Amino acid sequence: MGNFFKTTKCKIILFILALLVGVMIYAVSQGGYTISSIGVFNALISPFQHASNAISERVEHVLDMYSNAQSYYDENQTLKQEISDLHAQLADYEAAKEELAELQEFMGIKEENPDFALTSPFDVVGYVANDPYRTFIIDGGSEDGVSLYDPVMTAQGMVGMVTELGTETATVSTILSPDVYIAALSSKTREKGIVTGNISMLLDGCCKMEYLEKETGLQKDHVILTSGENGYFPRGCVIGFVQETGLEATGLSAYAKIRPAVDLANLTKVVVITDFSGKEGQHEKEQH
């Protein structure tokens, strides 16, 4: 400690203190503080005041953090929960908006076809494993008014028909299946034929329209509709669009490759048509 008083730093501090004391004594001897002396004094102590204030503010900030740490933590957790709740509400809102849009589309089917008796939309609960024709299962069955061979569709067009029925579920074979036959016609040329699945066109996600006239007038993108003539499907529902045409191997008739209007690989909801104009009459014919 004694060595400190011999250092240059100590001498400088003592000099500054002596200078300050001298200024103060001089100011008192002059009858009070002079403006110049006050200015010099303030100039000398100003850096120390700023440093002191900065340290004081920093200490107050640190003390505030420690003393209110729990309060800040609780507030942070509350804000996180509120953000999480808002995200959940937003997700629910988006889901509800999407569901409403789907319902409006399905309502459009009824508006365009007042003779249709429709079920509520059913969820597609899964596709049948290892089935190349995209057969799927819905969460509606006989308890929901579904019957065997009822046609199934979406707002975009025809999907297929019920081929297996349970009380709470049903299996639907799509129009890609060779076991499904739909009487069809062209909306443009009114040519008629039968739409069914075809293994050679399956890889392209298409089905086949058979028994066309050899000199068919069908062209690419012509719309193919259900004709309603076999009684299993109502009239006027979109099946798909012509991709190409060609002659059968026999050379006696033509065919058309049809791209389905519905994305059969990514179905989420469908409706079942439980009744329609012409269905009862066709069944009466079959009974005779």
pLDDT in tens, 35-93: 444 555 555 556 655 655 666 666 566 666 666 666 766 777 788 788 877 777 766 66
From CA 133, how far away is CA 199, in angstroms rounded? 9
* Residue 131 and residue 15 share a domain: no
* Residue 122 and residue 61 share a domain: no
The enclosing H or E element of 194 equals strand 192-196
* Residue 227 and residue 148 share a domain: yes
* Residue 202 and residue 141 share a domain: yes
Specify the pTM: 0.66
Is 107 a domain residue? no
**CATH number for the domain that contains residue 180:** 2.40.10.350
Is 132 a domain residue? yes
Q: Evaluate whether 125 touches 137 at the Cβ level (below 8 Å).
A: yes
Is 104 a domain residue? no
* Residue 122 and residue 59 share a domain: no
What is the DSSP annotation of 88-150?
A: HHHHHHHHHHHHHHHHHHHHHHHHH-TT-EEPPPEEEEEEPTT-TT--EEES--GGGT--TT-
From CA 142, how far away is CA 145, in angstroms rounded? 5
Decide: residue 223, CB within 10 A, 0-12 exposed, 13-18 middle, 19+ buried.
Answer: middle
* Residue 233 and residue 151 share a domain: yes
* Residue 52 and residue 138 share a domain: no
In this prediction, residue 284 carries a pLDDT of 47
From CA 182, how far away is CA 283, in angstroms rounded? 16
From CA 219, how far away is CA 212, in angstroms rounded? 12
Say how many CA atoms lie within 13 Å of 4 toward its Cβ: 3
Is 108 a domain residue? no
Q: How many domains does the chain have?
A: 2
Is 105 a domain residue? no
Q: Which domain holds residue 36?
A: 2-67
pLDDT tens digits, one per residue of 102-141: 666 777 888 889 999 999 999 999 999 999 999 999 999 9
* Residue 143 and residue 63 share a domain: no
In this prediction, residue 87 carries a pLDDT of 75
Is 72 a domain residue? no
* Residue 270 and residue 193 share a domain: yes
Residue 287 predicted with pLDDT over 50: no
Is 224 a domain residue? yes
Is 85 a domain residue? no
* Residue 126 and residue 16 share a domain: no
Residue with tokens 């297929």: 160
